[in-house]
Amino acid sequence: MAAISKAIPDDVFVSAWEKAGGSPAIVCQILGVSTRAVYMRRAVLANKGIILKSNPIRAGQGNEHGWQTDVGRAYKRQNDFNLDNGTIVVFSDCHWWPDQDMTIANMALLEIIKELKPAVIVNNGDAFDGASVSRHPPLGWSKLPSVKGELEACDERLHEIIMAAPGRKAELFWNIGNHDARLDRTLCTVAPGFEGTIMRLDERFPAWNMAWSLNVNDNTMVKHRLYNGVHAAYNNAMKSGRSIVTGHLHRLIVTPWGDYNGHRWGVDTGCLADPQAPQFDYAENNPSPHTSGFAVLTFRNGELLPPELCCVIKNVAYFRGQAVIDGN
């Protein structure tokens, strides 16, 4: 598919969006362009004040044009992507706050993206922290960042990731995390009458294709969370029946599993945030297995090879045995 160029006027793109019922995937079908191009063009129009509301596709339902639409869901259930040969970089649990230095893991992420030129970059949830709109009470008189400040921090960091992708050609996916959902949940709870006038999370970040999960090749599932506990990665792989990549628990680990159906992996992508940052003061300075880093998935002939981790140890980010960023 070709990228959307200036040869397609704004009004033609808007018309295609309306005809598609707000589904970016259907706009791809109508205009014959890539998903990435659709989301980037939508972001350009948003900067011009033209806000195009999304209504992603879901299997089993259709609109008057016969295309599938996702009616009645807060977020799309699943994105699907086929990758024969290439890499996918998965990071999660950034919990970005304003006025904080970029973490070592975040710096390493940008370097690895530049080096590996991944086909896909996945934000696997909890980029937005939502400290001031949490259902949990504040810890004493701590000063929490505003929603506006957090969203601006997300804007900056996610833009840096997009710019790091060579040629900015990587497909971008964002799997909703429980912290991410705080924004829309708060808006629809405290201001339900403003529906349609306040930007949802997916409308704020149109370059990222949002859903609850990303299905790759029907053999690997990437989503924010599934099982909890110290054996989560093992349980995820064993009980899901496929390789599965999750975040949420902030543990950086790869657990293999095999049965008569074959070999697969449970991956926890750790956290891009610094586990010692004030975002996590709720842990009361207890010993913790939380680890800063992210995961890299390599596919050959459609099959997932053993997943690799970039791990921060004593302020140094290591990948494939080499120091990527030395923060000392």
What whole-number distance in Å separates Cα of residue 14 and Cα of residue 44?
A: 12
SS3 171: strand
Length of the chain: 328
Would you say 6 and 44 are in contact if contact means Cβ atoms under 8 Å apart?
no
268-318 pLDDT, tens digit per residue, is 999 999 999 999 998 899 999 999 999 999 999 999 999 999 999 999 999
For the chain, the straight-line distance linking the first and the last C-alpha, in angstroms and rounded, comes to 45
What whole-number distance in Å separates Cα of residue 300 and Cα of residue 326?
A: 31
Rounded to the nearest 5°, which phi and psi values hold at 105? Answer: -65, -40
- The kind and range of the H/E element at 240 are helix 232-240
SS3 5: coil
Checking if the pLDDT of 325 tops 50, the result is: yes
Q: What is the pLDDT of residue 6?
A: 55
Q: What is the pLDDT of residue 49?
A: 77
Q: What is the pLDDT of residue 237?
A: 95
Residue 181: how many CB atoms within 10 A of its CB?
A: 19
% pLDDT > 90, the chain: 60
Q: With cut-offs at 50, 70 and 90, classify the pLDDT of residue 131.
A: confident
185-209 pLDDT, tens digit per residue, is 888 888 777 666 677 888 888 889 9
112-128 pLDDT, tens digit per residue, is 999 999 999 999 999 99
Of 175-189, 194-208, 231-245, which gets the smallest average pLDDT? Answer: 194-208
78-123 pLDDT, tens digit per residue, is 999 999 999 999 999 999 999 999 999 999 999 999 999 999 999 9
Checking if the pLDDT of 154 tops 50, the result is: yes
Checking if the pLDDT of 157 tops 70, the result is: yes
Checking if the pLDDT of 242 tops 50, the result is: yes
- 246: Cβ–Cβ under 8 A, 6 or more apart, which residues? 92, 124, 222, 223, 224, 225, 226, 232, 233, 236, 266, 267, 268, 269
43-70 pLDDT, tens digit per residue, is 788 777 787 876 654 434 444 444 444 5
